[in-house]
Structure 1
């Protein structure tokens, strides 16, 4: 999933504060992370950022499907064979993933990783995949076929060839955990930007809320809204940087795991939620559910808001969103 990168605005108005924001940019989990902490000096900030990096690296080792020694890989390699005992942290993450899969009626599905990639968005695809290949691509997908045993703390994928993956929630979860750790260590304010999955806490040194500028999907060089974030997460998913055009029809890279076909009708979704893990999953799901169903589902969730931009450029917001034009 291509994530829109946010522009962070730090307003200091020329005033020197005892506490200052310190930022480090690096590559983690195969993505660009920006970790910002508010601290008294660079030495203190570096110590805190190192803690966050170590936590994100720990989580990557736990959930990676590329690492053959990870518990996630062990679950996948035993699909259709036997249950696998896992750490409580991974068990709970999978349980929440199944919960979101149910909430979205499978628009998000934690077992999407078994999807054969019949759609290619690297410029090599010149014709439509066959109907049979698309149908076959989703045969192993179905969160209903994940069996959890809470007492034994085991995970079993019932179908041979079935796989779980955390591509849609992994970065968000890592950002949540890094934030949680830094708060426990006494860091009063900061931002974890996991390739567009934004997680904030506290306020800027001048007492103002952190703010994000949301990119205009019709013109990536402009922003259409500037919004404050208070101790929460915001994730934007866009389909306008990764797509294929066949016979003058544009197909975006966000695939409906239930049908195997690309989602249509929406070009950008921004979700505000208490946790980046949840915001991450919902942003993808709304593309698949469509704007009416997606908006209705969001408005049933406490402390969750969204901004949807459809393929005609219309802006649809949930009831508690007020857009400050930039």
Structure 2
């Protein structure tokens, strides 16, 4: 996705850096103050230390070793609550308990990208998680993965910090974008799921967030990172999704949920737009489903 232009034609500043496995670009009218830059870096480091399954010293790594009560930061409670809601909405298809399955498939801490002879199935929420209010209370050790909504959550947290310094910004975390309210809409390209050098269309965003999920990212052997818990194998029917919602955490999670659950069912639980949320879904059979997104142009 691209982020051309800000609220006015004045010069803009891009702060580009790598963190939590992706390239970030924070676009503002002028460079951010040092204390804001430091606060952004500190918050991303905190999130990584809490939720990364790729580092041995994270809270998630400790949960994989030890059952019992694992405290959750107050700022992170919305992420856990959102996962519980997604689990219910998708009837278990979107779950943080997919971590061991991904690791067995080769998407592990060492990035071996070599599937094991046996890939673990995915347990049910209530089999493992006894409580999630203020702490994750685990009945047994479990390797969590919050990739379905975690990057969007991090983008929201960064946007909150940046928003204290300026009311004109775009936070782009590897395609998960948070856009400050603007009078001149931001045109965002939708990357072609089969050719990242092309776009299948554009949308116009005047506030909120847009996130994408695609099966052409993090691909190895016969696997990709979007796993269906019902089969413990990659989802095959959908190629790519985009969701526009008020927060990147919501948009990110819903973009994954659309791989398993019809949009009409998901929209029944949302009231942010007349349709519940805006989306584009591209299926492997070539069909495209979308809501009446402002400024949507498709090139298919």
TM-score range, shorter chain: 0.7 to 0.9
State the partner residue of 1:73: 61
Paired residue secondary structure (1:279) = helix
- Tell me the C-alpha RMSD between the 2 structures: 3.0
| Aligned positions, number | 290
State the partner residue of 1:181: 161
State the partner residue of 1:3: none
Partners of 2:99 and 2:138 lie apart in 1 by 12
Question: What is the TM-score when the length of structure 2 is the normalising length?
Answer: 0.83
Match of residue 52, structure 1, among 40, 58, 68: 40
State the partner residue of 2:101: 115
8 Å CA contact retained: 2:106, 2:112: yes
Tell me if 1:64 matches 2:64. Answer: no
8 Å CA contact retained: 1:211, 1:227: yes
* Cα offset, 1:24, TM superposition: 1.4
8 Å CA contact retained: 2:211, 2:242: yes
* Cα offset, 1:279, TM superposition: 1.4
Paired residue secondary structure (2:50) = helix
Match of residue 205, structure 2, among 204, 229, 243: 229
Paired residue secondary structure (2:233) = coil
Partners of 2:193 and 2:21 lie apart in 1 by 24
Question: What is the TM-score when the length of structure 1 is the normalising length?
Answer: 0.77
Match of residue 316, structure 1, among 279, 289, 293: 289
State the partner residue of 2:136: 155
Q: 1:220 to 1:30 in 2, by over 3 A?
A: closer
User: 1:122-159, CA deviations, whole angstroms, 9 ceiling, x for partnerless residues?
Assistant: 9976xx987xx34xx115x3222312264xx3322213
User: 1:173-202, CA deviations, whole angstroms, 9 ceiling, x for partnerless residues?
Assistant: 11101111222x241111111111111113
8 Å CA contact retained: 1:101, 1:107: yes
Radius of gyration: which is bigger?
1
Tell me if 1:191 matches 2:164. Answer: no
State the partner residue of 1:299: 267
* Cα offset, 1:278, TM superposition: 1.6
Ranges in structure 2 where 5+ consecutive residues have no aligned partner: none
Match of residue 30, structure 1, among 6, 18, 21: 21
